[in-house]
Amino acid sequence: MIGSPRRHRSECESTQELLGPDDPEGAIATTDHQTAGRGRLGRSWVEAPGTSVIVSVMLRPPVERRAQELSLVAAVAVALAVEDATGLSAQIKWPNDVLLARRKVAGILAELKDGAVILGIGLNVNQTREQLPLDAKVAPASLRTVDGRVRDRGEVLEHVLRRLDVCYAAWREGGLDSLYDDLGARNFLHGRRVTVDGIAGVAARIERDGRLRVDGESGPVLVESGEVLFER
């Protein structure tokens, strides 16, 4: 069961550093504020204290599964949790962002450490517009800026953990294919012109193995990972 044991700090550099090799699968670390939060590709994750759900989860995936798929597994879980919390449709921007009203509300970081995966999730909940970063690659939002509601972050965290527990169990049993309906239906990039690490074209679909298909001038390209720039 994901969520126990739980280690909480009112402030820390990063919840990713609060979990270690002795922690069992399902252990989580949470905080009210990170002073050195990080995202993919070495970027920082910045949030106003006490406004976000910030959680890291210890996972020990079976050897027959591709650990790099866990970013998408978590993206599906967070998208469903956002929908639980808001009643609105969320989308997934491959490979690890969750969007609401075409703006980024959550990011995911999966780090391999000592044979396990520490999955970090940052979800903007109660920030005002003034508290969101101005220099983000993808226009940011919080649940509050989308619908005006201030939420109990503990309740939102419970939505996330419940959905992640179900999605992770399904993935362990059946791989990414078991989550494909929820993943494919929320593909934000579908039909958009994109550039991924120098590859330009139209994003088609997320394949069942987690790769992004981009239809370029010389034909389709399957992208394993990378930073996606898109036209809105």
CB 93 within 8 A of CB 140: no
113 or 92, higher pLDDT: 92
Q: Which of 38-52, 93-107, 112-126, 202-216 has the lowest mean pLDDT?
A: 38-52
Are the C-beta atoms of 123 and 160 separated by less than 8 Å? yes
Could you report how far apart the first and last alpha carbons of the chain are, in Å?
A: 39
pLDDT band for position 226 (cuts 50, 70, 90): confident
Report the predicted TM-score, pTM, of the whole model to 2 decimal places: 0.94
